[in-house]
Amino acid sequence: MAGLTDQATRPILDLLRRVDTPTVCNAIEVIDGKRGFDAFTRGRVLASDARGVLVGQARTARISAAQPPTDPPETVRARRMDYYRYMATGEGARLAVVQDIDPQPVGAYWGELNTTVHKGFGLCGALTNGVMRDLGDLCLGFPVLAGGIGPSHAFVHVTEIACPVQVFGLTVAPDDWVHADRHGALVIPKSHLPELPAAIAKMQRTEAIVLDAARAPDFDFARFEAAWTAFEAART
C-alpha cells in the first residue's frame, strides 16, 4: 500500500472489515467530493455468508467449465499448479477474484475443497461470477460471493492467471484493493486508502443528522427539511 507502513495499514483494514460495502461506496464519494463513481459491481451476488466481508488485494484468474479443455492434460495440470502457486504467494490481505468466462457459468469451482485450500493459503475469501456448491461444507471463515449455485464442477479448468478480470461488470486488475460483501464489490483507488477512515467517520456523522431527526418522536416535514439542509451543508 503506497504511502502506508504495515503498522498504519492494519487499523485501516480492521475498520474496513467492520463496515459494509455501501458504506465504503459512500466514503469514496466523500473523498471525491461528488456523488457517484463506477468501480462497483452490477446485479445480484449470492453470498455464502451473509455477514462475510472481503477486504484485500486481488489475486486474479479466469476459468472455464462448460466444455473440456482442448490443451494437453499435462498443460492443464501445469497451469492448475501455477494457479495454486500464484494464489499461495503474496503478503498481507488477499482475496481471490476469479472470472468464469463461459457465457452461462455451469461448473462449481468453489466448494469445500477449494475454499479450504485457499483459506489455508491465507486468502480471506473469493469473488466470482461463477458457481459455488457444498453450501453446508464450505470452509468456515472463507466467504464466497458468486453468481450461481450448482451441483457439479463440470469440466472446470484454469485458463489464465494474474490477468485483468471482469465480474458482475466490474473490472479488477491483479493487486487491486477490493471491498466486497453480500451487496456486491468495489475497487478502492489506492490513493484513497489512507483517507477512508476520516471519510467514513464524516459520512456517519453527517448521516446521523437525518437519522437522529427521523427517529425522534416529534419528527415531521419541517424537522426533516431542517435536518436535510444541515446534512447537505455538512457533507460538502
> Is 134 one of the annotated binding-site residues?
yes
CB atoms within 10 A of CB 33: 8
Residues 184-228 pLDDT 10s: 999 999 999 999 999 999 999 999 999 999 999 999 999 999 999
- pLDDT, position 146: 98
**Domain 40-188 in CATH: superfamily?**
Ribonuclease E inhibitor RraA/RraA-like (3.50.30.40)
- pLDDT, position 236: 62
- 49-73 burial, b at 16+ Cβ within 10 Å, e below that, comes to beebbbbbbbbbbbbbbeeebeeee
> Is 133 one of the annotated binding-site residues?
yes
Residues 53-63 pLDDT 10s: 999 999 999 99
- pLDDT, position 34: 84
pTM of the model: 0.93
CB atoms within 10 A of CB 162: 16
* Calpha distance 107→100 (Å, rounded): 9
For residue 220, is it left (φ>0), alpha (ψ between -120 and 50) or beta?
Answer: beta
3-state secondary structure of 168: coil
- pLDDT, position 82: 98
More confident residue, 216 or 34: 216
Question: How confident is the model over 146-166, as a mean pLDDT?
Answer: 98
Pinpoint the residues of the chain covered by CATH 3.50.30.40: 40-188
Q: Which residue's entry shows cell 503506497?
A: 2
